[in-house]
Amino acid sequence: MENTNIYVPYKMKIEKITEEAPFVKTFRLKFVNEEDASKFSFRTGQFGEYSVYGEGESTFCIASAPTREGYIECTFREAGRVTKSLANLDEGDVIGFRGPYGNIFPIEEWKGKNLLFIAGGIALPPMRSVIWNCLDLRENFKDVTILYGARSVSDLVYKHELAEWNARPDVNLVTTVDPGGEDPDWKGKVGFVPTILSEMSPSSENTIAIVCGPPIMIKFTFPVLEKLGFTDENVFTTLENRMKCGFGKCGRCNVGKVFVCKDGPVFTLKQMKELPNEY
């Protein structure tokens, strides 16, 4: 019987585990079955359901870029039952993955524009997929600026990649930690993301802003962007809500009439303003 059961995950092998920060890990996953690998494709912004059999499923974005073929990556913080059991796994172990689900960042439409990425804490993973996707197609875009903040130096994820972006002449990376989160060797900024953004005062001219972070950061970042002259259509974010199915049936991730899983997770600020505050 051909398998059209939408709940059956792909079988993935954990190829590599990277410790990113305390309680934060990145898994590089490869399809166990060649046939699944050849049929699979995704676009930046999409997410999936990762399962540990016996514990359940958990929702994270695909944190790798579609331009990097042959694997997918996810980055997660140990927080609940499924993420705790994921964190106990080793390289070579097998997990389940369903996806990709959801809409995408429309990077095709951003050709010829400046890109301003603003991320906070554990919200860099969804943005990392877009950043690498755009950097792998670097000639399509003008200036690329990345502002990334975390609570403390140790909470910054993707430290190797931050160093790599920092060394690139075609990327302007600004990192910051919350006041009190710095250590003696810290060479970045100290201050909350919205404050640093205000200081940087990037031009909104021909620029797309992509914002992802905890609700409090988002709340204070949008007004700064508005002040800088960004229009609501040019500001993008990705939402998350509790999910079970990932495809608009289980009924819990909706914000008003839109499902985050099916109609999102990527929304413009313009779309966000039409939604009730249910995220």
Partner 1 sequence: MEIINKLIDKSALATLIERFTKSGKEVFAPVKSKGISEFARVETIQDIDFETIATKQSAKSLVFPKVEKILSYEKTFDDVIVNNVDYTQFPEVIAFGNRPCDAAGFIPLDAIFAGELVDEIFKARLEKLTVISISCKKADDYCFCTSVNGGPGNTTGSDILLTETTADEYFVEIVTEKGKAILDANTDLFKDTAAIDKTPFLAKLEQQFTQEVINEKLNGIFESDIWDKQAMRCVGCGACAFVCPACGCFDIQDETKGKNGVRHRCWDSCGFKIFTLHTSGHNPREKQAQRWRQRIYHKFSYQPEQQKLFGCVGCGRCSRACPSDMNIAEHLKEIAVL
The residues in 95-134 that bind partner 1, with binding defined as CB under 8 A, are 96
**Judged by CB under 8 A, does residue 272 bind partner 1?**
no
Residue among 243 and 269 whose Cβ is closer to partner 1:
243
Among 70, 168, 256, 273, binds partner 1 (CB under 8 A): 256
Q: What is the identity of the amino acid at 108?
A: E
* Rounded (10°) CA dihedral 211, 115, 63, 73: -170
DSSP for 80-137, please give it. SHHHHHHHT--TT-EEEEEEEES----GGGGTTSEEEEEEEGGGHHHHHHHHHHHHTT
Residues in 213-232 at the binding interface with partner 1, rule: CB under 8 A: 215
Residue 77 has φ and ψ, to the nearest 5°, of -105, 140
Measured from the CB atom, the residue of 160 and 257 that comes closer to partner 1 is 257
**Cβ proximity to partner 1, 100 vs 188, nearer residue:** 100
Nearest-CA neighbor of 156 among 129, 116, 193? 193
215 vs 223, which CB is nearer to partner 1? 215
Three-state DSSP class for 273? helix
Site stretch for partner 1 (CB under 8 A), options 37-45, 188-196, 222-230, 248-256 = 248-256
Q: Does 93 bind partner 1 (CB under 8 A)?
A: yes
Question: Residue 249's CB: how many other CB atoms inside 10 A?
Answer: 11
Q: Cis omega (within 30 of 0) on the bond before 66?
A: no
Looking from the CA of 266 toward its CB, the CA atoms found within 13 Å total 23
Q: Within positions 15 to 74, which residues make up the interface with partner 1, using CB under 8 A?
A: 53-57
Of 34, 139, 185, 242, the one binding partner 1 by CB under 8 A: 242
HSE-up of residue 161 (Cα within 13 Å, Cβ side): 18
Among 70, 80, 179, 229, binds partner 1 (CB under 8 A): 80
| Among positions 112, 169, 184, 276, the unique one binding partner 1 when judged by CB under 8 A | 276
Nearer to partner 1, 163 or 250 (CB): 250
Q: Could you list the residues that contact partner 1 (CB under 8 A)?
A: 1, 3-9, 11, 53-57, 79-80, 83, 92-94, 96, 215, 240-242, 244-245, 247-257, 262, 276, 278-279
